[in-house]
Structure 1
Amino acid sequence: MILLDKPLGLSSNHALQRVRRAFDARKAGHTGSLDPLATGLLPICLGEATKLSSYLLESDKHYRVTARLGYETTTGDAEGEMSRASDVDMPTGVALDTLLAGFVGPQQQIPPMYSALKVDGKPLYEYAREGQTIERAPRPITVHSVELVEAGDGRLTLDVAVSSGTYVRTLVEDIARAWGGCAHVAALRRTRVGPLGFERPMIDLEQIESAANEDPARLGNWLQPISSLIADWPRVRLDSEQTEAVLHGQRLRGDWEAGDTLVRLESDDGLLLGLGRCEIEGELRPKRLFARPQP
């Protein structure tokens, strides 16, 4: 896995393909796309790690977002045309802190028209480009935190932690509307995805491609172990007999906690075997296994 610092103006898929070519990997996948106008952490899984990429789509995300105040746009960011304006001043001090705190917690959010969600097999953004507005049902999200970084000169910068499926563009609009104003995203940078982004540094795409052309041996310095993708998942350590059974796809019964929980399966020497699910009936079912144990 590579912790790519996606550059501005590049789609997530374009960035993914360039990393895949640099590493000469047959398989590659990412753990949740970023808009072209967003930068920051785009974890890219290579080879066996792609077996985990879909599970990381549901991870919480952390962003630093800068909103430009005064008007909304058709896309919710700087790429769109002005759609609504307001000259209502942003609150300050305790009033602003109180307003922001009101957005923390579980809530319902209506997805924006400029999104990849599909209706009748067609992405919403295609309807939007045709001038159509489709009714969208609100979806449950959770905003874990909203922290003020800077405010003034017609801009508002926040650090936010949100659940998967949260549209930061919509969150910014809703925050401004709460004081009767308007805003859109001027800059967005993702800083964390699940357990990733705490300690390990992100790598620039230019660094990767330069190393691939000039010194391919350097590429290995930036590879992260598969286990770091699920570092915060509950672990189930198996003895040699259980490991053999799991690797043959067999379900196990044991004294681990019953529930409906995804866990990381490890051998008795600490190697990662893959993913399993502890089911309500108390069985442990292999879910996604690697071709060989991973460190």
Structure 2
Amino acid sequence: MDGVINIFKNTGMTSFDVVRKIKKVAGTGKVGHTGTLDPEACGVLPVCIGKGTKIIDYIMNSDKIYEVEFKLGIKTTTYDLEGDVIQEKDSSNIENEEILKSIYSFEREYSQIPPMYSAIKQNGVRLYELARKGIEVERKGRLVSIHKIEDVRINNPYISMKVICSKGTYIRSLCYDIGEDLQVGATMTKLKRSKTSKFTEEKSINIEDINSENIKDYIISIEDALDSYQKLVISNKFSKLLINGVKVFDKRLTKEKAEIGKLYRVYDENNNFIGLGKSDHQGFKIEKLLIN
């Protein structure tokens, strides 16, 4: 049982609750999820099983799509409704045009400061562990990219929108930052992740519907889970070298030109899947060996 299951996580459960159930149903301890969803958030949470755990990072590193609702005029300790309210302001005097201008101003790459209530580690300690003790520390901004914001609906003080963004983006922080820009504060009220990498809500299976009888029906192979990466066929003459970890610098390696720094799904001429690899100015190398 090796591969990925496209799970839909419900609100009211942690991402580790999902992993715990899959471990029990699959009868294996080798299970991992591909990016934490907060307990009060729902949505797509691909879960890797067996050898599939080798590609967790490659799924996590992909772009995400979220559907979010937030409320203007309120700030909490957690940036969502789980925390304590620390500020309330009236937002009724803000025009919709001003709200839209603020929202769309975040369609860019920017340095986002993560919330204290987050799983990020600082000096080996998770931030939420410090926050629960009442300790707030200075956090470094992390470069994230908000590729696109669409389907914005304003019913002041409530706003909903769809966000297409890079890995590492905290949607809670985005809502908070919009509130700060409008000088009234904001708190996230609802969140759903509708896509991560190739995994969509439409093709997901609800965690409540998975059992020991049907789990095998929903396992996506490692190869198929990575099909968002372009395929590259390499000459059989060099396949053993690549499998053994050698970096190959030879024009005969492939008939196609491999772009420098781009990650590829690598196959030999017999269509055997080898793994993920990329080239630099010194040659081509397998970054993650996935051959059976």
Q: Deviations over 1:160-219 (max 9, x none)?
A: 011111111110011122222222111111011123228x6110111103xx2xxx1x32
Q: Deviations over 1:96-150 (max 9, x none)?
A: 3332211101111111111122222211112212222211121211111112342
Greater CA drift, 183-192 or 88-97: 88-97
Task: Report the Cα distance in structure 2 between the residues aligned to 1:8 and 1:258, rounded to whole angstroms.
Answer: 42
- Aligned equivalent of 1:228: 224
Secondary structure of the 2:42 match is: strand
- Aligned equivalent of 1:15: 18
1:254 maps to a residue whose letter is D
- Aligned equivalent of 1:6: 9
- Pairing 1:205-216 to 2, within 5 Å after superposition: 205-209=207-211, 212=212, 216=213
Q: Does the 8 A contact of 1:60 with 1:163 survive in 2?
A: yes
- Aligned equivalent of 2:163: 160
Structure 2 residue ranges without an equivalent (≥5): 252-256
Secondary structure of the 2:106 match is: coil
- TM-score by length of structure 1 reads 0.89
Q: Deviations over 1:245-280 (max 9, x none)?
A: 323333322333352332211132434221123122
| Distance of aligned partners of 1:17 and 1:90 in 2 relative to their CA distance in 1, 3 Å threshold | farther
1:154 maps to a residue whose letter is P
Q: Is 2:144 the counterpart of 1:148?
A: no
Secondary structure of the 2:239 match is: helix
Task: Report the Cα distance in structure 1 between the residues aligned to 2:182 and 2:13, rounded to whole angstroms.
Answer: 34
- Aligned equivalent of 2:206: 204
- Pairing 1:127-138 to 2, within 5 Å after superposition: 127-138=130-141
Task: Report the Cα distance in structure 1 between the residues aligned to 2:73 and 2:95, rounded to whole angstroms.
Answer: 16
Greater CA drift, 12-21 or 267-276: 267-276
- Pairing 1:98-117 to 2, within 5 Å after superposition: 98-117=101-120
Q: Does the 8 A contact of 1:260 with 1:280 survive in 2?
A: no
- Aligned equivalent of 1:52: 55
Shift of 1:14: 1.9
Shift of 1:64: 0.5
Secondary structure of the 2:284 match is: strand
Task: Report the Cα distance in structure 2 between the residues aligned to 1:280 and 1:84, rounded to whole angstroms.
Answer: 54
Q: Does the 8 A contact of 2:149 with 2:163 survive in 1?
A: yes
| Distance of aligned partners of 1:284 and 1:155 in 2 relative to their CA distance in 1, 3 Å threshold | same
Residue among 72, 75, 78 paired with 2:81: 78
Greater CA drift, 3-12 or 151-160: 151-160
Q: Deviations over 1:29-76 (max 9, x none)?
A: 222111111110000111121111122222111100111232111111
Secondary structure of the 2:260 match is: coil
- Aligned equivalent of 1:274: 275
Structure 1 residue ranges without an equivalent (≥5): none
2:204 maps to a residue whose letter is M
- Aligned equivalent of 2:254: none
2:230 maps to a residue whose letter is P
Task: Report the Cα distance in structure 1 between the residues aligned to 2:155 and 2:225, rounded to whole angstroms.
Answer: 38
Q: Is 2:26 the counterpart of 1:30?
A: no
2:69 maps to a residue whose letter is T
Shift of 1:225: 2.2
Task: Report the Cα distance in structure 2 between the residues aligned to 1:90 and 1:22, rounded to whole angstroms.
Answer: 53
- Aligned equivalent of 1:287: 287
| Distance of aligned partners of 1:66 and 1:258 in 2 relative to their CA distance in 1, 3 Å threshold | closer
Same amino acid, percent of matched pairs: 29
Residue among 62, 65, 74 paired with 1:62: 65
Please, what is the CA RMSD of the aligned residues?
2.0
- TM-score by length of structure 2 reads 0.89
Greater CA drift, 151-160 or 100-109: 151-160
Task: Report the Cα distance in structure 2 between the residues aligned to 1:90 and 1:228, rounded to whole angstroms.
Answer: 51
Q: Does the 8 A contact of 1:265 with 1:272 survive in 2?
A: yes
Shift of 1:84: 1.2
